Amino acid sequence: MAKVKTKFFCTECGYEAPKWYGKCPGCQSWNSMVEETEKVVKTQGMNSSLFTTKEKPLPIIEIDSGKEPRVQTGIKELNRVLGGGIVPGSLVLVGGDPGIGKSTLLLQTSHEMTQAGLKVLYISGEESIRQTKLRAERLGALSPELYVLCESNMELIEEAIESIQPDFLVIDSIQTVYQPEVTSAPGSVSQVRECTARFMRIAKGKGIATVLVGHVTKEGAIAGPRLLEHMVDCVLYFEGERHQTYRLLRAVKNRFGSTNEIGIFEMSETGLVEVANPSELFLSERPLGVAGSTVVASMEGTRPVLVELQALVSATHFPSPRRMSTGVDHQRMSLIIAVLEKRMGMFLQNQDAYLNVAGGVKLDEPAVDLAIAVSIASSFRDAPTRPFDVVFGEIGLTGEVRAVSRAEQRVKEAEKLGFKRVILPEKSLKGWKRPGGIEIIGVNTVAEALAVALD
């Protein structure tokens, strides 16, 4: 008879303990231990011999370092985030808020891959096959090489994989799949860990590119143990505001490419549509000749994106002024306000300051510092900036403007969209040829930048 044991698992790191701890001994996080009951069953190891390899250790200099083959998904924005396509045998985890479009993206991707002659198996644990068929009809994703299965039993899923032998596998979602040998409920730490380990062996052993859909918590992290993110090869987050039509696909882990790339999509009635030029999207509703509005050239991976920064500075009626920011780091905003007060003599201690990145984009690179300073100063002085100016640069604590990377790409993107003038650090002008269709002004201090931008 199987023995029933009670264990405690950490949802952050997967640490296993026989009793409850308020603070996890593994990752030192508080209130992360959850209780689970599991039945210990003696098994003969993994019941599938196809995952067993008999390879011998090799010296590293004798290992073939050939380039990993990639399969094009048919969606350029997804290929960009993955690093040029999906690698056969890789395990990819996709997370995002409910209703953000994860299933829509993967169903469209499955259809595109069948058009390239690949066989796809789409396993849904949350929708029936009829619901999936209705969604596929709406998206125009019907193909004879796209197989759909509504199942959550891990053993039956393995049988379907062995029967169909797909080239691309989608599991929607990993929290609904359960292993019968593990007695805890689907979605628990034990089930998610064991099922992910089985899918990892399938992907590596049979060379099947596998995508797992993961639910997220209210904090935005993927539900389950953080060990789940360590096991997979690539972690993608699908982001976006529910009241906005565009979506951002961002990589936070990628063993086969960069983690700085983003893919931008727009949600329509027929599914997700790729946005080839995101700068036009973010600047489409920009007002002209308004104080506090500045356009910044930010880099998302290798792609330059022009985004509007809006600042509002108004007198406060409270002893402590408010500092609120959306889309940029709040601490960075406070630092720049301190620089403006100390180096530029702006008295902002009795002023509320609000900063917003139009469109809901998140900017986390230092190159947006100068645009933040110009926006705040413009609103404080009620002096509009020129409508066709682009500003970027990093600000130091002494008021200097420091050089930033990829200045040439930022300037070319501004020129392509019809902007007339770019204000950038003087030290970023070295090493590249200036285009002739746009005026470029180099500055060394914040005072010089404000004198030019607010003339």
Dump pLDDT digits (tens) for 257-283: 888 788 889 888 888 999 888 888 788
Distance (Å, rounded) from C-alpha 187 to C-alpha 228?
12
* SS3 at position 149: strand
Distance (Å, rounded) from C-alpha 74 to C-alpha 84?
11
Distance (Å, rounded) from C-alpha 97 to C-alpha 8?
27
Could you please state the CATH topology (level 3) that the domain comprising 281-453 is classified under: Ribosomal Protein S5; domain 2 (3.30.230)
Q: Is 163 annotated as a binding residue?
A: no
pLDDT score at 45: 46
- Which amino acid is present at 432? W
Residue 89 reports pLDDT greater than 80: yes
Helix H or strand E segment including 330: helix 330-344
Work out the pLDDT band at 50, boundaries 50, 70, 90.
very low
- Which amino acid is present at 158? E
Q: Is 99 annotated as a binding residue?
A: yes
9 neighbors 36 (Cβ within 8 angstroms): yes
Q: Is 437 annotated as a binding residue?
A: no
Q: Is 22 annotated as a binding residue?
A: no
Domain positions in the chain: 3-40, 69-275, 281-453
Q: Is 442 annotated as a binding residue?
A: no
Dump pLDDT digits (tens) for 230-246: 889 999 998 876 667 78
* Angle, alpha carbons 187-190-196 (nearest 5°): 75
Dump pLDDT digits (tens) for 158-180: 999 999 999 999 999 898 999 98
**Spatial strand order in the sheet of 120-124:** 146-150, 120-124, 168-172, 209-214, 91-96, 234-239, 246-254, 262-268, 271-274
Could you please state the CATH topology (level 3) that the domain comprising 69-275 is classified under: Rossmann fold (3.40.50)
* SS3 at position 299: strand
pLDDT score at 128: 92
Q: Is 98 annotated as a binding residue?
A: yes
More confident residue, 242 or 116: 116
323 neighbors 372 (Cβ within 8 angstroms): no
- Whole-prediction pTM: 0.76
Q: Is 85 annotated as a binding residue?
A: no
Distance (Å, rounded) from C-alpha 259 to C-alpha 82?
9
Secondary-structure percent of the chain, ordered helix, strand, coil, rounded to 5 = 30, 30, 40
Distance (Å, rounded) from C-alpha 213 to C-alpha 445?
48
Q: Is 97 annotated as a binding residue?
A: yes
C-alpha distances (whole Å) from 5 to each of 81, 188, 208 are: 43, 15, 35
More confident residue, 12 or 418: 418
